[in-house]
Amino acid sequence: MQASARHQRHRLATIVGLLPLIIFLALLLYVGLNAPNFLTVVNLKLVLTQSLTVVLSVIGLSAVVMAGGDDVVSGGIDLSIPATAVLCAGIVAVMTSAGQPVILAAGAALVASMLVGVVNAVLITRLRMAPLLATLAMFVAVVGITNVITERKRLNLNADSIAALRGDIVPGIPLGILLVAILSLLAWFFLHRSKWGLNLQAAGGSRDAAEISGIRVDRLVAQSYLLAAFMGFVTGFFMLARANGYSPGAQDNLMLEMVLATFLGAAFSPRRIVTVWGAILGAVLVAAISIGLKTIGVNVFWTDLIKGALIVIVVALSAISQRVQ
Amino acid sequence: MTEAAFQLSGIVQTFPGVRALDGADLTIYPGEVHGLVGENGAGKSTIIKVLAGVYQPDEGRIEVGGSSVSPATPEKIRDAGIRFIHQELHLVPHFTVAESVFMGQEISGPFGLSKRKMRSRAEAFMRDELGTELPGNRLIRDLGPAERKLVQVARALVDGAAKVVVFDEPTAPLASEDVRTIMTAIARLKSRGIAILYVSHYLNEIIDICDRVTVFRQGKNVAVFDEVTKNTGSELVSAMIGRALDNFFPTTDRQPGEVSLRLAGYDDGKTFSDVHLDVRRGEIFGIAGLIGSGRDELIDALYGLRKSQGTLTLDGATLDTKTAAKAVANGMVLVPRDRRHDGLVLPMTVTENATLATLDENASFGLIDRKKARSATERLIKDLDIRPANALAVTRFLSGGNQQKVVLARWLAKSARIFIFDEPTVGVDVGAKAEIYQLIENLASQGAIIVMSSSDPVELVGTCDRVAVMMRGEVRTIIDKPDLNVDHLVAVTTGATTVSETAYAS
């Protein structure tokens, strides 16, 4: 009797876990029916291009969530990734406009980004701050620094090598998409097919179990924040390429979509946990919804409301699904 | 005699103010299942931590396989082939069996993790060494508690280098039928020549599977049984209990009245089932039971802190205690086991804590009448002899016994009818203990209904009129006052005496 009760609960949890996905697909279907041109190859390429920055940041965020656990309040989360991205974009834009070589600008941006990661790691693993609060504070602080550096002005891109991310490498496939695909594969391998990745998941799944098995949890958690900062750094270049320069304010939308995509992605995994490929698929879906809503002419302010509501639904349902189990 | 698998001799371990181990010896031979028993606080977990290299003892020798290990560190002990199966499961719910077994010792090839190899090795180990078929791709969260325990065992032993395995209360969270699975696995390990140290409160299991038993009491080994038979049970019990009934229990000629509080069909579908109890007015009714017996959970359910089925009636009328707020409103109050977290708001003063449940009576138009609250508290401080006698003292700085009195003061202010005491004297010094027992006795004399859940058999025997003994989620028996003595209570609680014998006991 107990076993069947467990089975029933399990089934309920499965259904609740799949709900966000179902809601999303329904929304997508609605958009598709109302915008006849939506489901075409040209549009798919647009969606993918649009999703690149989100894909890169969710790779970082999913590593952090894996290492810190997926509890929404006390688990691992890094809200500062989008801020790191704009910091990187800002530094590169300012330095290249001033005539510095791209490589030097990139080096400076890398140092700054990794510094953000180190501060995050120290706040969370040494001072034991709640990741949600620590990285929210870092988000605000880093955006502040970026505004100081860029004077909150739009800066046009002055580097062809970064703009090349937009161009096709072979006819039909832009270099950016190819690079992100390769990075995604690498991330999948290291997070899901390597010993390091499995230990990372063990750390997030049960801190005690991991420690008893001789896994150095704090070190892994710190590494996950460094990886997240690095992904923020990479994201910065794709931001520059997409907007053809630095434009202030890009971090807000990215944060929203990054969080939404990562937790939505858990619905793709049979175990209902945050995975890299789930988060990447989630990022593509989120981009599709954004473009779709724009195509059928939904006011851009309403789009934010819809995305915010979707985050609440996705996170609430994942919490319910965990409680049912 | 063959060489010992490990030998601890003359171990002394002191903590500030406590001599936890006082010259303790423990010797285990290869291929034997060795039981380690003792009351709470006898030093069982301390000596295991000494063996594990977690504590560095002040005195004594640790020998493994004939050679001295000094100082013992967790790494050296592990390398010497000693493995520990902790009481807590510590598993990742969304990992597969294979991933859990190889956690921290993953097999990986040039192309990343060898998931297939880990799976087949894990399955083979479970089948050959532990005697259970468990698919390596099942998720931990879909397993039952016994299977989870076996996964934990496999994780400790899969490298094949284990010579000694220490099981710490492996069956505490299990139902009776699941215990058999664990016993089979232990028998298999034994047949491979692995020495097993089996720590448990369940004396029936100790008698069933152990070849030898060491009994700990007050930080020392007080007896070693080289032969274990069905009759060893009562000898184990008397070796374990060194304490006489202390004379600080209140004497009383109080006679309980009619049955007043009835619990019928209490069942939470998981940790306890089919609990029926009748408690009299003016009676102190005890509940005994080991960890995992469902005792804690039953108390929580009674007070509306845990979802459960069952009906509670007071003098024939249904009593709604589905939430703690309703329980309090209906005159049932709880003095919780963890007073620091659940009983008190530590940063608040004695007055604030004592009047927390009676704010309405001490307030007019939603504003607290501080003067009134203060004088009410001062009266309680005097009645209960709370020290320091300062209504504005912050409760965090009070001693354990005085903190407990503040919790009690809150409910006395509330004039409740039913009092549930859960481990009322844990962390309370002897003098304050006697006072708390007297307060409980006074409440009962005034006709209150008292339910007292405790892991201390001496306390239950000293204060209670009747004691219900829970085991693996069921009430096994109820011991009446004439049969209530510490030996018998411990024997029944630990399963050393089966319930059928109870009728003829004493």
Contacts of B269 in chain A (CB under 8 A): 2, 5
Would you state the pLDDT for residue B499? 53
The Cα A56–Cα A230 span in angstroms is: 10
- The CB density around residue B302, as the number of other CB atoms within 10 Å, is 27
B415, B437, B471 - which closes a domain: B415
pLDDT tens digits for range B122-157: 999 999 989 889 999 999 988 988 999 999 999 999
Instruction: Tell me which residue range forms the domain holding B397.
Output: 334-415
The Cα B95–Cα A273 span in angstroms is: 10
Q: Quick check: B432 pLDDT over 80?
A: yes
Both B126 and B212 in one domain: the answer is yes
Both B235 and B113 in one domain: the answer is yes
Both B121 and B200 in one domain: the answer is yes
pLDDT tens digits for range B266-307: 998 888 999 999 999 999 999 999 888 999 999 999 999 998
Q: Of the candidates B169, B162, B212, B214, which has an alpha carbon nearest to the alpha carbon of residue B188?
A: B162
Would you state the pLDDT for residue A325? 61
Contacts of A203 in chain B (CB under 8 A): none
Contacts of A5 in chain B (CB under 8 A): 269
Q: Quick check: B263 pLDDT over 50?
A: yes
Per the CB < 8 A criterion, the answer to whether B225 and B232 are in contact is yes
Domain-embedded: residue B435: no
Domain-embedded: residue B14: yes
Backbone dihedral angles phi then psi of residue B359, each to the nearest 5 degrees? -60, -35
Cβ of A194 and B270 within 8 Å?
no
Q: What is the pTM for the complete model shown?
A: 0.83
Q: What is the arithmetic mean of pLDDT over A63-73?
A: 88
The Cα A58–Cα A56 span in angstroms is: 6
Both B85 and B166 in one domain: the answer is yes
Both B326 and B339 in one domain: the answer is no
Report strand pairing: B284-289 vs B466-471.
parallel
Query: Which of B86, B92, B113 comes nearest A206 by C-beta?
Result: B92
List, in order of start, the domains of chain A with CATH numbers: 2-324 (1.10.3470)
Exposed/middle/buried for B500, CB within 10 Å: 0-12, 13-18, 19+? exposed
Cβ of A209 and B111 within 8 Å?
no
Would you state the pLDDT for residue A4? 61
Q: Which of B73, B90, B115 to mutate to test the interface with A (most CBs of A within 10 A)?
A: B90
Q: What is the arithmetic mean of pLDDT over B26-53?
A: 91
pLDDT tens digits for range B168-205: 989 887 877 788 889 999 999 999 899 999 999 889 89
Cβ of A205 and B269 within 8 Å?
no
Q: How many structural domains is chain B composed of?
A: 3
Both B327 and B457 in one domain: the answer is yes
More confident residue, A45 or B452: B452
Strand partners, B474: B471
Strand partners, B368: B363
The Cα A270–Cα B93 span in angstroms is: 13
Q: What is the arithmetic mean of pLDDT over B115-124?
A: 94
Q: Quick check: B505 pLDDT over 60?
A: no
Would you state the pLDDT for residue B240? 86
Both B233 and B263 in one domain: the answer is no
Q: Which of B79, B85, B106 to mutate to test the interface with A (most CBs of A within 10 A)?
A: B106
**Which of A132-146, B158-172, B227-241 reaches the highest mean pLDDT?**
A132-146
Interface of B with A in 251-280 (CB under 8 A): 269-270
Shortest alpha-carbon distance between residue A46 and chain B (Å): 34
More confident residue, A234 or A297: A234
pLDDT band at B244 (very low <50, low <70, confident <90, very high): low
Residue of A nearest to B98 (CA): A198
Q: Is B75 on the interface with A (CB under 8 A)?
A: no
Both B352 and B490 in one domain: the answer is no
Cβ of B94 and A195 within 8 Å?
no
Contacts of A205 in chain B (CB under 8 A): 92-95
More confident residue, B97 or B70: B97
CATH at B345: 3.40.50.300
Q: What is the arithmetic mean of pLDDT over A60-77?
A: 90
Q: Is B139 on the interface with A (CB under 8 A)?
A: yes
Report strand pairing: B363-364 vs B18-28.
unpaired
- Residue A120: CA count within 13 A, CB half-sphere: 39
Q: Quick check: B418 pLDDT over 60?
A: yes
Would you state the pLDDT for residue B500? 46
In whole numbers, what is the pLDDT of chain B averaged over residues?
Answer: 88
Q: Quick check: B502 pLDDT over 50?
A: no
Cα angle, residue B124 at apex, residues B175 and B90 outer, rounded to 5°: 45
Domain-embedded: residue B434: no
pLDDT band at B249 (very low <50, low <70, confident <90, very high): confident
Contacts of B86 in chain A (CB under 8 A): 212
pLDDT band at A134 (very low <50, low <70, confident <90, very high): very high
The Cα B27–Cα B7 span in angstroms is: 4
Would you state the pLDDT for residue A108? 97
Q: Percentage of chain B surpassing pLDDT 70?
A: 97
Both B105 and B223 in one domain: the answer is yes
Domain-embedded: residue B39: yes
Cβ of A325 and B141 within 8 Å?
yes
pLDDT tens digits for range B358-404: 877 777 777 888 888 888 899 999 988 888 888 898 998 888 888 98
Domain-embedded: residue B436: no
Kindly list the strands in the beta sheet with B418-422, ordered across the sheet, starting from the edge strand earlier in the chain: B332-335, B418-422, B449-453, B284-289, B466-471, B474-480
Contacts of A199 in chain B (CB under 8 A): 103-104, 106
A163: left (phi over 0), alpha (psi -120 to 50) or beta: alpha
Strand partners, A173: A170
pLDDT tens digits for range A100-131: 999 999 999 999 999 999 999 999 999 999 99
Q: Percentage of chain B surpassing pLDDT 90?
A: 50
Domain-embedded: residue B52: yes
B240, B270, B289 - which closes a domain: B240
Least confident of A5-19, B67-81, B100-114: A5-19
Least confident of B71-75, B317-321, B352-356, B498-502: B498-502
- Residue B36: CA count within 13 A, CB half-sphere: 27
Q: Quick check: B245 pLDDT over 70?
A: no
Q: Of the candidates A278, A292, A304, which has an alpha carbon nearest to the alpha carbon of residue A46?
A: A292
The Cα B80–Cα B69 span in angstroms is: 9
Q: Quick check: A3 pLDDT over 60?
A: no
Cα angle, residue B418 at apex, residues B417 and B419 outer, rounded to 5°: 120
Both B278 and B236 in one domain: the answer is no
Would you state the pLDDT for residue B495? 87
Name the H helices within A75-174. 81-97, 102-121, 131-150, 160-163
Would you state the pLDDT for residue A230? 98
Domain-embedded: residue B348: yes
B240, B275, B304 - which closes a domain: B240
Domain-embedded: residue B285: yes
Both B454 and B482 in one domain: the answer is yes
Both B194 and B310 in one domain: the answer is no
Least confident of A238-252, B328-342, B448-462: B328-342
In whole numbers, what is the pLDDT of chain A averaged over residues?
Answer: 89
How many residues comprise chain A? 325
Backbone dihedral angles phi then psi of residue A137, each to the nearest 5 degrees? -60, -40
